[in-house]
Structure 1
Amino acid sequence: MAVGVVFFLFLVVALATAPGGDAAVVEHTFIVSQMMLNHLCNNTPVIVVNGQLPGPAIEASEGDSIVVHVINKSPHGVSIHWHGVKQQLNCWADGADMITQCPIQPNKNFTYRFNVIGQEGTLWWHAHVACLRATIHGALIIRPRLGSSSYPFHKPDKEIPIVIGEWWGTDLVRLDKRFNNSNFAYVPGSSTINGKLGDLNNCFGFIEENYILNVEHGKTYLLRIVNAALHPQYYYKIAGHMFTVVAADANYVKPYMTDTIAIAPGETVDVLVVANAPPGMYYMVALGIMSLGPITETPAFISRGIVSYNNQANATSDGTPIMVPEMPDQREETLAFYFHDNLTSLVHHRVPADVDERLFITVDTGNMCRKGSVPACGLVSRMNNISFQPPANGSLLHAHYSNNMINNVISTLQDFPSRPPPRMVFNRGHTSKATSLRRVRYNTTMEIVLQGPPIWPSYPNPMHLHGHDFFILAQGHGRYNAEKDVQAYNLLDPPVRNTALVPVLGWMVIRFVTRNPGVWLLHCHIQQHVSTGMAVAFVVENGPTMDTTLPPPPADYPSCDNQN
């Protein structure tokens, strides 16, 4: 039987056996193309989907099947990652370039097919090639199967995606090469809210547009906030309003109120906002958090939009000032630490008590020298002293499925160690470069300690795991101490996430079970970090039965021939 037929039959069976039997098919066509945008007094060619920035939101209900036809009319190879979608038995659709597929080449097409079963809330999609996710991204909204009346909180009157991003004003593929070839920390021209730079950007008298959210007094709004930025965490506030946090990474949390949201790259946060302020206009502000230790002169990444009651922003200005929120300092990390620490699961999950495999992973930077007549040395990102190098000639998943990993198909393979090298000192020492893999048996309970630099210079690392959610058991500052810190583990109601923010000067502990065969990347979601090697691939073996075995690739699986 042809591979494509097998995959199609598998998809049909999966849909037919979905709980409730009322699954729908949500179908989209994504045309990826290049267009010119003018911001900050410059015309810049950007790669977008369907001529939109952000790209189109995908809206589905739990249990639905999503079909996205990607038509690549851009000059670069692209792949689309469905960030946070578990892709159970469907690793082929994960969209991680050179991990699960080769990029879709210019003038080629590929159709992603996947189900959204057992997940509700806000996820997102983005390009997984170089820095292209800065302009190729959008929200992925999964509602309860019975509609918004089934939310475990007050039914909102309206739902609004809020996508925090960045405007770089440069060729993003070249930007990625600069990340790889320089120690310099490149910075964007501005932050954005739903693609708008905001009125703090004034270039020779031309003021950039604000994103405007029109509200009605007394109504409740569900804001689905996505951090699609390449670099920093963000603080997000609306002057004169409070948020009730209800979900994160498409997992419900115990509601709690705050006036400030902290959201790291790759994360999503759902909040309820009641429009109960006096009629008028109020600024919403997204401020980048730049924790660079002793470095004092750091640029401010900031954008602002407007919350307007009864369409006042479209009326003639009467001179009434727009209320501005008081923002935290851009280098203030404590508020972000406690925001994440306050998240607990709405339901009591059964956290697996017996751990089969423990990893201690350091996430930091190290030195690497390139060979040549004049050796060039620089900093690279690494995990356990290995800077990840994607394979050059084919995807890891296809090599794994074909049992060709060790037949010189991927010559850069290296087993990933369970601990860093002895006496390793943060931010010092030579780093090796390899396609690092960790092979894991099906149904293995894994616990991973993610340790960031405990001394300056330090930085937070939002670590994203493909194909799985995980429990965040604990976080802390300094060096992780197994005997002491295990006593602080939350085994009752830990938050369930797909992205864990390892705090600046600190550590994070996660636990999950490998019940999804395939090849899944764990990587930092700061683009400069992942571009320079802060990643590792987990190879999860097949289980003992057909329904725990990865099926064949789809018929139109992108070829790795003639990659550019």
Structure 2
Amino acid sequence: MAVFAFPDEARAEHTGTTRHYSFDIRVANVSRLCATKSILTVNGEFPGPRIVAREGDRVVVKVTNHAQYNVTDRHGVRQLRSGWADGPAYVTQCPIQTGRNYVYNFTVVGQRGTLFWHAHISWLRTTLYGPIIILPKLGVPYPFAKPYKEVPIIFGEWWNADTEAVISQALQTGGGPNVSDAHTINGFPGPLYNCSAKDTFKLKVKPGKTYLLRLINAAVNDELFFSIANHSVTVVDVDAVYVKPFDAETILISPGQTTNVLLHAKPTYPNATFFMMARPYTTGSGTFDNSTVAAVLEYQKPHSSSAAGFDKNLPLHKPTLPAFNDTSAAANFTGKLRSMASALFPANVPQTVDRRFFFTVGLGTRPCPKNQTCQGPNGTKFAAAVNNISFVSPTTALLQAHFTGKSNGVYTPDFPVVPLMPFNYTGTPPNNTMVSNGTKLVVLPFNTSVELVMQDTSVLGAESHPLHLHGYNFFVVGQGFGNYDPANDPAKFNLVDPVERNTIGYATLFGVSPDCFGFRITCRCVVHALSHRGSHELGFEDGMAGLEWKTSEPETATSTVGSSQMLILAARPFD
């Protein structure tokens, strides 16, 4: 797949209201699946509180950490000259220590739609997450009819065990972490799980009304199919960017992605209730939580109050979801996503490229420490790698090291821009699967436009790699299967109306654009971050706009054909 990233605006100018929020991170007891456990929450809420702002508003969030873990948070907001408000630990900031606070201060620029915030260190984000609602500027309408009501729908995962213990064990053994016990919708597992009927989210609607559903995948590992029985929806926005509207019966949403859809309620009372259901989409045969989460869509009876207008004894209809490995359904949905590319909402796709990179993404191995038993292939540990380099997390924030001129010993600017040892990426894997380790970056002149091909590999099994670009957006200009063909594939790129995103799942491509701060690309499947060595950065001189991504645990491939993923990063100079 290919993507362009770019700066739409030269400056993060504050043109609206300043909105203040206070986040207190505390432990709270929450019961799910007939068990009670202590989890981290913001202000005692699970999911956490929503942040609401308009395009052009300044947002100030004071985060105070009362928990025993160091934390950070943020996701998806464009950070123009405010990269320190982006959140990745040891990239743009150091974690917030116990008993300390940190103020995130940023301006919402060129975005309107849905994003979300979450903890950005370890597995704390299994419970620390909540929506970010970005409304248009005052007096600016939606490019569709105003909905009667807007409702966030947040997908998550629930573990009965302590998730910090789950990931700690996986890091120790080098194997895969235990899968979740349930998926959730707005924090509730729903009636399809044992001992969970009372913990069901219900969406109550009126006949004839239109509802804007703000879908957020805050799950740790799973791409999800989502559908509402006997209803279709109209997709109007992804990752806080408007798209050409299209109708869909099933939505595919990857970890880290958001999708706004219009639900048109039936014109008359239907004498029925309807399940809203989600379950994973996966391309490999590795272990995953193959369960289904359900919420309920209920209609209010005509001429009744909201308190008494819902009948509990009506027939309940279920949607038909695609099979968990239905790649055709996944491709059909993602293939329909297109930018508006209109006068009001142009798609400023860069048409020229200064530098071209080719990055392979996949799994390798690293040796098991002495006197330890490891669960990877032949007693090794799994290790994520890009161009066979597995990232070593620094102890000094990269942005801090860059701005203070003290990068020696923190990172080196010698990340390979092409694989050092090319091979048949989707065919027979090489005999040596060991990776190299390092904190390596690619450094580019400011305002460089970049084409980046992301090639999935089948070294230890082909799989999907949902990836997120911090602090910026990108255009997805192409995707394909098998090995990327530099002679013929570029002719297939969509340079007219490609979808603009900050996270890509099925077939992955990204773009980076220059800014004055450090950012990262992160693999959204946290199961893929099994070692602390699964990420990389790409930085720009004269300030740094960096990419870091974390990749994954192996899944046994159902096919030897991997996904060729092409990314074009392109940026035009600031106006």
TM range (shorter): 0.7 to 0.9
Instruction: Report how far residue 215 of structure 1 moved.
Output: 0.3
What is the TM-score of this pair, normalised by structure 1? 0.86
For residue 349 of structure 1, what is the aligned residue in structure 2?
A: 347
Instruction: Identify if the C-alpha distance between structure 1 residues 303 and 314 changes in structure 2 by more than 3 Å, giving closer, same or farther.
Output: farther
For residue 176 of structure 1, what is the aligned residue in structure 2?
A: 167
Code of the residue aligned with 2:88 in structure 1: it is A
Instruction: Report how far residue 425 of structure 1 moved.
Output: 6.1
Code of the residue aligned with 1:35 in structure 2: it is A
Instruction: Identify if the C-alpha distance between structure 1 residues 227 and 176 changes in structure 2 by more than 3 Å, giving closer, same or farther.
Output: same
Contact 2:282 2:324 in 1 (8 A): yes
Query: Which stretch has the larger CA shift, 420-429 or 188-197?
Result: 420-429
Instruction: Report how far residue 549 of structure 1 moved.
Output: 11
Q: 1:193 aligns with which of 185, 198, 210?
A: 185
For residue 454 of structure 2, what is the aligned residue in structure 1?
A: 450
Q: Confirm or deny that 1:385 pairs with 2:377.
A: no
Q: How many Å separate the matches in 1 of 2:335 and 2:535?
A: 24
Q: As a proportion of its length, which structure holds more strand? A: 1
Q: How many Å separate the matches in 2 of 1:257 and 1:124?
A: 24
Query: Which stretch has the larger CA shift, 206-215 or 365-374?
Result: 365-374
For residue 133 of structure 1, what is the aligned residue in structure 2?
A: 125
For residue 300 of structure 1, what is the aligned residue in structure 2?
A: 290
Contact 2:192 2:293 in 1 (8 A): yes
Instruction: Report how far residue 540 of structure 1 moved.
Output: 2.2
For residue 529 of structure 1, what is the aligned residue in structure 2?
A: 528
Instruction: Report how far residue 298 of structure 1 moved.
Output: 5.6
Q: How many Å separate the matches in 2 of 1:255 and 1:232?
A: 25
Count of residue pairs the alignment pairs up: 514
Q: 2:235 aligns with which of 245, 254, 257?
A: 245
Q: Confirm or deny that 1:65 pairs with 2:58.
A: yes
Instruction: Identify if the C-alpha distance between structure 1 residues 141 and 374 changes in structure 2 by more than 3 Å, giving closer, same or farther.
Output: closer
Task: Give CA deviations for 1:118-145 in whole Å, capped at 9, x if unaligned.
Answer: 1111111111010111111111111110
Q: Confirm or deny that 1:228 pairs with 2:232.
A: no
Give secondary structure in 1 for the equivalent of 2:106.
Answer: strand
Give secondary structure in 2 for the equivalent of 1:339.
Answer: helix
What does 1:74-473 correspond to in 2, within 5 Å?
74-81=67-74, 83-146=75-138, 150-181=141-172, 182-203=174-195, 207-276=197-266, 278-293=270-285, 299-310=289-300, 319-347=313-341, 348-372=346-370, 377-392=380-395, 394-406=396-408, 408=409, 410=410, 413=412, 415-424=414-423, 429-453=433-457, 457-473=461-477
What is the TM-score of this pair, normalised by structure 2? 0.85
Instruction: Report how far residue 247 of structure 1 moved.
Output: 0.7
Q: How many Å separate the matches in 2 of 1:430 and 1:314?
A: 64
Give secondary structure in 2 for the equivalent of 1:92.
Answer: helix
Instruction: Identify if the C-alpha distance between structure 1 residues 374 and 484 changes in structure 2 by more than 3 Å, giving closer, same or farther.
Output: same
Deviating runs (4+, > 6 A) in structure 1? Answer: 311-316
Contact 1:386 1:433 in 2 (8 A): yes
Q: How many Å separate the matches in 2 of 1:325 and 1:479?
A: 36
Task: Give CA deviations for 1:17-39 in whole Å, capped at 9, x if unaligned.
Answer: 54xx4x10111110101111122
Q: How many Å separate the matches in 1 of 2:394 and 2:511?
A: 28
Instruction: Identify if the C-alpha distance between structure 1 residues 425 and 374 changes in structure 2 by more than 3 Å, giving closer, same or farther.
Output: farther
Code of the residue aligned with 1:287 in structure 2: it is R
Q: How many Å separate the matches in 1 of 2:545 and 2:509?
A: 29
Instruction: Report how far residue 414 of structure 1 moved.
Output: 6.0
Give secondary structure in 1 for the equivalent of 2:488.
Answer: helix
Give secondary structure in 2 for the equivalent of 1:207.
Answer: coil
Q: Which one scores higher on RCO, CA 8 angstroms, separation ≥ 6?
A: 2
Contact 1:445 1:511 in 2 (8 A): no
Instruction: Identify if the C-alpha distance between structure 1 residues 349 and 298 changes in structure 2 by more than 3 Å, giving closer, same or farther.
Output: closer
Identity of aligned residues (%): 34
Code of the residue aligned with 1:235 in structure 2: it is F
Code of the residue aligned with 1:309 in structure 2: it is Y
Code of the residue aligned with 1:540 in structure 2: it is F
Instruction: Report how far residue 163 of structure 1 moved.
Output: 0.4
Give secondary structure in 1 for the equivalent of 2:316.
Answer: coil
Q: How many Å separate the matches in 1 of 2:93 and 2:510?
A: 27
Give secondary structure in 2 for the equivalent of 1:179.
Answer: helix
Instruction: Report how far residue 535 of structure 1 moved.
Output: 2.1
Contact 1:475 1:502 in 2 (8 A): no
Code of the residue aligned with 1:34 in structure 2: it is V
Instruction: Identify if the C-alpha distance between structure 1 residues 323 and 355 changes in structure 2 by more than 3 Å, giving closer, same or farther.
Output: same
Instruction: Report how far residue 202 of structure 1 moved.
Output: 1.2
Task: Give CA deviations for 1:517-546 in whole Å, capped at 9, x if unaligned.
Answer: 222112211112234343212222227xxx
Contact 1:474 1:510 in 2 (8 A): no
Instruction: Report how far residue 317 of structure 1 moved.
Output: 5.5
Q: Confirm or deny that 1:539 pairs with 2:532.
A: no
Instruction: Identify if the C-alpha distance between structure 1 residues 320 and 358 changes in structure 2 by more than 3 Å, giving closer, same or farther.
Output: same
For residue 49 of structure 2, what is the aligned residue in structure 1?
A: 56
Give secondary structure in 1 for the equivalent of 2:401.
Answer: helix
Instruction: Identify if the C-alpha distance between structure 1 residues 333 and 178 changes in structure 2 by more than 3 Å, giving closer, same or farther.
Output: farther
Query: Which stretch has the larger CA shift, 367-376 or 64-73?
Result: 367-376
Task: Give CA deviations for 1:285-342 in whole Å, capped at 9, x if unaligned.
Answer: 011113224x6x8642321000110179977856432111111112222211221121
Give secondary structure in 2 for the equivalent of 1:461.
Answer: coil
Instruction: Report how far residue 52 of structure 1 moved.
Output: 1.1
Give secondary structure in 2 for the equivalent of 1:483.
Answer: coil
Give secondary structure in 2 for the equivalent of 1:326.
Answer: coil
Instruction: Identify if the C-alpha distance between structure 1 residues 303 and 379 changes in structure 2 by more than 3 Å, giving closer, same or farther.
Output: same
> Which blocks of at least 5 consecutive residues in structure 2 are unaligned?
1-10, 375-379, 547-575
Task: Give CA deviations for 1:56-114 in whole Å, capped at 9, x if unaligned.
Answer: 11111000000111111111110112x12111011111111111111111111111110
Contact 1:452 1:502 in 2 (8 A): no
Instruction: Identify if the C-alpha distance between structure 1 residues 373 and 198 changes in structure 2 by more than 3 Å, giving closer, same or farther.
Output: closer
Contact 1:39 1:208 in 2 (8 A): no
Contact 2:176 2:527 in 1 (8 A): no
Contact 2:424 2:483 in 1 (8 A): no
